[in-house]
Amino acid sequence: MANATSGNAARRTAALRRLVPHLALVVACAACSPEGAAKRTAAQGMALYNEGRYAEALPILKQARAAGLKDGTLLYQLGYCREVVEGKPEPRRETWREAEPVLAQEVSQAGGATLERLYYLTVIQSDSGSFDTMTQYARQGVEQFEKGPNPNALGGEDWFRLGRLHDFLSEASEAEAAYRRSVSAFTKAKGGVASYRSLALARVADYDLTAGHYPIAAEGFDEALKLFPANNQVKPFRHALALLAVRRYDDAIARFGEDRDETATESQYGGDLGRKAKAVAPLDDKDVDDSRIQSLPDEVLSARVREAAADYRAARVKNSYQPGDPLPAEVAVHQKRFVTLLGEYFLRTKGMQEFTLKEGIADLVRR
């Protein structure tokens, strides 16, 4: 009986040995199947997308789609790349209409509700104006991941997406906290996808600019562009404001000059103010009565800008000089006070044109 058992075991072992090469062949064939090849192509395109190399990603993602791969993430990223490359939103929206039901089906499957898919669905629903559904997906992402069993395991990209979800939910403080955790996670990991890290840095720098933490904001914007020069979330106007605040005048003037947004006119004023500040640098932190300019109440600051403008204008009338001539000492003294006070007003209000036109002092900035 023992010999029979041993014989059966030997035959099973021999059969398994014969089967292993066939199994390996099946696996290899699956990897070489059209679907397997399309998935590998898609992975290459998605990697380029995550690096912000949209023009390079586009033909590869198109190739994966043409091969018949039905994948919601592929379609979402393909749509975004199409808008960037083709320069209009219609191709993106067309592709996103295809992506939405595919992503929804993937999310409905067991284990399919990833943070990335929920984020993409939130963006698509917001873009189409389906705000109730947008809120549903955004809330699901926050509840499932940020408030899930292990939020400490989330990486920088995850926290960036959670920050965006909070933005969609109009939860400002939660969004800021998530973006800051994103930057922290990227820093601790000493790497990560450069484009996402850059986007997170830009958002945090915006918060720091609003809070008046100008050196930190300027550094954050600088690093964001260094990591990902194509980051269009680093707005030239806001970056220039931070640079103006830390008195990097040449850099501020250059960034103001790159502004093509709705703030372009304010940037023209900002560039001229930067040139006048550079001409009389270094500026003072205190006014003539030894009070700190940054601590002046808003109404006091406005009144002092008017006073400084009147003195500056009188000095310019009194002293004759041509463009390019050295500034007369009296003009330089009053120009320094004027640009310092007006610069503080500009940083606080993020605008200068309306105020200077109303007060009749715009020519002191623009000429």
User: Is residue 96, in this structure, part of any structural domain at all?
Assistant: yes
Residues 309-331 have a mean pLDDT of 94
Residue range 34-67, pLDDT digits in tens: 778 999 999 999 999 999 999 999 999 999 999 9
Tally the domains of the chain. 2
* Residue 30: predicted pLDDT: 43
Evaluate if residue 273 carries a pLDDT over 60.
yes
User: Is residue 10, in this structure, part of any structural domain at all?
Assistant: no
Kindly report the CATH number assigned to the domain that includes residue 82: 1.25.40.10
User: Is residue 231, in this structure, part of any structural domain at all?
Assistant: no
User: Is residue 68, in this structure, part of any structural domain at all?
Assistant: yes
* Residue 9: predicted pLDDT: 53
* Residue 16: predicted pLDDT: 44
* Residue 18: predicted pLDDT: 53
Residue range 181-233, pLDDT digits in tens: 999 999 999 878 899 999 999 999 999 999 999 999 999 999 999 999 999 99
* Residue 322: predicted pLDDT: 87
User: Is residue 142, in this structure, part of any structural domain at all?
Assistant: no
Q: How many helices (H) and strands (E) does the chain have?
A: 18, 0
Which residues, other chains included, contact 189 with Cβ-Cβ below 8 Å and sequence gap of 6+?
155, 156
Q: How many CA atoms lie within 13 A of 53 on its CB side?
A: 13
Residue range 276-291, pLDDT digits in tens: 999 999 999 999 999 9
Evaluate if residue 358 carries a pLDDT over 60.
yes
Q: Distance (Å, rounded) from C-alpha 321 to C-alpha 307?
A: 23
- Which residues form the domain of 306? 280-366
* Residue 25: predicted pLDDT: 38
- 84-93 contacts: CB < 8 A, separation 24 or more? 84/54, 84/55, 85/54, 85/55, 85/58, 93/127, 93/128
Residue range 82-97, pLDDT digits in tens: 999 999 999 999 999 9
User: Is residue 239, in this structure, part of any structural domain at all?
Assistant: no
Domain end (from 112, 147, 168)? 112
Residues 231-259 have a mean pLDDT of 98
Averaged confidence pLDDT in the chain: 92
Q: Distance (Å, rounded) from C-alpha 250 to C-alpha 263?
A: 19
* Residue 324: predicted pLDDT: 85
Domain end (from 112, 138, 154)? 112
Domain end (from 112, 142, 175)? 112
Residues 145-172 have a mean pLDDT of 96
| Sequence-ordered alpha helix ranges (H) in 129-235 | 131-141, 156-168, 172-189, 194-210, 214-227
* Residue 35: predicted pLDDT: 77
Q: Distance (Å, rounded) from C-alpha 199 to C-alpha 232?
A: 9
The sign of the torsion formed by the CA atoms of 193, 198, 200, 204 equals positive
* Residue 2: predicted pLDDT: 45
Residue range 1-29, pLDDT digits in tens: 444 445 555 555 454 455 444 534 333 44
* Residue 192: predicted pLDDT: 81
User: Is residue 121, in this structure, part of any structural domain at all?
Assistant: no
User: Is residue 52, in this structure, part of any structural domain at all?
Assistant: yes
Record the pTM: 0.86
